[in-house]
Structure 1
Amino acid sequence: MNSLRFLGYLVLIGLFLSALAGCRHEPFMMAEDDDFMPIDTTVVDTTTVDTMGTDTVGVPCDSTKIYFERQILPILRSSCAFSGCHDATSAQDGVILDNYDDVIRTGDVRPFDLSGTDLYEVLVDEDEDDRMPPAPRSRLPASQINRIATWILEGAENLSCDVTNQGCQTTDVSFSAVVKPIIETNCQGCHSGGSPSGGIDLASYSGIKTRADNGQLLGSIDWQDGFSRMPQGSPQLDQCKIDQIAAWIADGALEN
């Protein structure tokens, strides 16, 4: 009887130890050959708007939005970010206006707040000694000031879009709707006012027409040999803009 009881105890102890072993959890360890892939932060998500200022593949341009690289930066480069003023080398008063980050930082741009944004305030300042661009340069056209204001009020973002699939209208190109806005945005900052750069005044149709007829306008923006590359110190205009101006010139450079 005692032997049977002892044997029963041994069986119970064995069952208890087996159960205890079954409840143990091995610590979690990542094996060296596990298929673990870290997030690749260098891959650009092309399904969303790229805020780095480069073209975003597959994202069509929205006519209701302001794109900094295409619509704001060319104005600043033409009118402000040149040698002796607000390029990276001169940085007058500590202000640099040749790239998005520096425009936001040194131009004291406050999204959604015009009155608190120095970049806007100097454009509309009534004091000729304080306004920018400084005399004898002309004030920015109202259309450009309004564009900058709209950009700030919309959040001063660095949106970009893909223009490769947008098509380029090169037939019946209008001076007033196409050519003039291109030149206003990219050229008139230097080539207007009391002392236009190089003595070339592009603030009027007649001035633009003269340079179109003698080949200087297309030669400069197309970066052809023998011509000064324009816009000076800035990237070349995108091919669509060059093609549109070329088409307008080929059609007689009309004031249409």
Structure 2
Amino acid sequence: MKKFKIFSLLFVGIVIAYTSCKHEVPTISEIDTLPPAITVNCSTDSVYFVNTIQPLLISGCAMSRCHDAISHEEGINLSTYSGVMREVVAGNATKSELYKSMIRTDEDRMPPPPAAAFTADQLTKVRTWINQGAKNNGCSSCDSTDIKFSTAVKVIIQNKCQGCHNPASLGGGVDLSTYTAIKASAASGKLYGSVSWASGFSKMPQTVKLPDCEITQIKKWIDAGSLNN
């Protein structure tokens, strides 16, 4: 009887300890309910998930029939931070399946041929973000007074739109891979209508709307004549 009482007390103690600790580490599903850590000013030494990595992956990987929330090819969903983290070893890009699949040169590259591979600059940003800890972070960096094509509009579209709108992947039949094509889309009203998610236009990007500042940059560029400046 004495041994039974001791065992019972130990069992109760274990249960109490377990129930008091089991919520200390969030599950994968809970990670996406936590807002990203946003800093006021961007550091030139850091790469941010919200500003750079998430738009890049949504444009080039988390698209329909690939790794979005609906298709999730091979069980991979890259439309959320938690989904991305399933393919990442924080602090070590060379051991991260996400990065390894992006730098491949065969048919298993992501995105797969004939889609264009990520540029060297984009791969560097992904590698740096992972090696810096793969944080769910962001910062405020947009300058709405910068409305040049080369420093604002081209950069936004290249990182957040071209993954779905290039000659190898004409989402909606739209090509945004060149200045001429972008200008034509601007002239038709489709570019602004899509990025502003206006009624009657297809949303671009489909999952995460561009920040208001970037939409303003595109609108001002269009209003100024859509110059190749």
Q: Given the two structures, how large is their TM-score scaled by the length of structure 2?
A: 0.79
Structure 1: which 4+ aligned runs deviate by more than 4 Å? none
| Distance change >3 Å, CA 97–CA 195, structure 1 → 2 | closer
**Structure 2 matches for 1:60-99, cutoff 5 A?**
60-99=41-80
**Structure 2 matches for 1:87-126, cutoff 5 A?**
87-105=68-86, 107=87, 109-126=88-105
Asked if 2 retains the 8 angstrom alpha-carbon contact of 1:81 and 1:97, the reply is yes
Residues 137-160 of structure 1, C-alpha deviation per residue, up to 9 Å, x if partnerless? 111222221211111121211123
Aligned to 2:124: 146
Match among 114, 129, 133 for residue 155 of structure 1:
133
Moved more, 63-72 or 235-244: 63-72
Q: CA deviation at 1:225?
A: 2.2
Letter of the 1:168 counterpart: D
> Greater Rg, structure 1 or structure 2?
1
Q: CA deviation at 1:64?
A: 2.5
| Distance change >3 Å, CA 70–CA 53, structure 1 → 2 | farther
Q: Given the two structures, how large is their TM-score scaled by the length of structure 1?
A: 0.71
Distance 1:65 1:86 in 2: 26
Asked if 2 retains the 8 angstrom alpha-carbon contact of 1:170 and 1:243, the reply is no
Q: CA deviation at 1:102?
A: 1.4
Helix, strand or coil: the match of 1:189? Answer: coil
In the alignment of these two chains, the number of paired residues is: 198
Higher strand share: 2
Identity %: 42
Higher helix share: 2
**Structure 2 matches for 1:188-203, cutoff 5 A?**
188-203=162-177
Unaligned runs of 5+ in 1: 1-50
Helix, strand or coil: the match of 1:115? Answer: helix
Residues 76-114 of structure 1, C-alpha deviation per residue, up to 9 Å, x if partnerless? 111111222111222211211011111111x1x112322
Residues 28-76 of structure 1, C-alpha deviation per residue, up to 9 Å, x if partnerless? xxxxxxxxxxxxxxxxxxxxxxx944364x7433333211022101111
Asked if 2 retains the 8 angstrom alpha-carbon contact of 1:52 and 1:158, the reply is no
Residues 234-255 of structure 1, C-alpha deviation per residue, up to 9 Å, x if partnerless? 1211110000011111111111
Unaligned runs of 5+ in 2: 1-32
| Distance change >3 Å, CA 53–CA 76, structure 1 → 2 | farther
Moved more, 204-213 or 112-121: 112-121
Letter of the 1:54 counterpart: P
Residues 150-185 of structure 1, C-alpha deviation per residue, up to 9 Å, x if partnerless? 111212111233x3xx673325x2111111110011
Does the alignment pair 1:239 with 2:212?
A: yes
Distance 2:57 2:41 in 1: 24
Aligned to 2:14: none
